Amino acid sequence: MLSKRIEKALNDQIRIEAESSQIYLAMACWAEVKGLEGVAGFMYSQSDEEREHMLKLIKFVNERGGHAHISALKAPNVTFKSFKEMFEKLFEHEVFVSESINNLVHISLEEKDYATHNFLQWYVSEQIEEEAVARTILDKINMIGNDKGGLYLFDRDIEQITVNTAASNNLP
């Protein structure tokens, strides 16, 4: 059984994950109308992934005797000065999500809810990867600078960008 404090914190995270999905969806739309099909495809995929994160939380809350709530969402930003600014906003948002997950982990330990703590470890690892991917993309964008040819290649190749993080390695 979830404590009311944990249930509220998990419901707050459900909203954050839903907003994350909407943010990526807005970025996908912006990129698509700018002719950046690769970036748009990447963002659509990320939006779907964030929705899956939300659903995973919803099911967990309900399975543990809580009641998952679907709440109103903040409207995401729908315009950007550049694709670089868009990815900077994405990175800032992923850092915010990581902080929120870390706070949830802290609450689960304070409440001595080890089942929730264990469940949240997947999100901790996922956020390490999300931040690393965003950082890698920003590094590539900075290398490109204002080179249109570089932007073309980046747009073509973005869906292949992966990051091998320490969290995804099974090294001792």
pLDDT tens digits for range 71-114? 999 999 999 999 899 999 999 999 999 999 999 999 999 999 99
Contact 8, 106 (CB under 8 A): no
E strands in 13-76: none
Known binding residue 50? Answer is yes
| 107's tokens | 């609450």
- What pLDDT score does 143 carry? 92
- What whole-number distance in Å separates Cα of residue 169 and Cα of residue 146? 35
Phi and psi of 82, rounded to 5°? -160, 165
- What pLDDT score does 160 carry? 77
Domains and CATH numbers, the chain: 4-165 (1.20.1260.10)
Known binding residue 93? Answer is no
With H, G, I as helix, E, B as strand and everything else as coil, classify residue 23.
helix
Known binding residue 127? Answer is yes
pLDDT tier at 172 (50, 70, 90 boundaries)?
A: very low
- What whole-number distance in Å separates Cα of residue 57 and Cα of residue 121? 12
Known binding residue 32? Answer is no
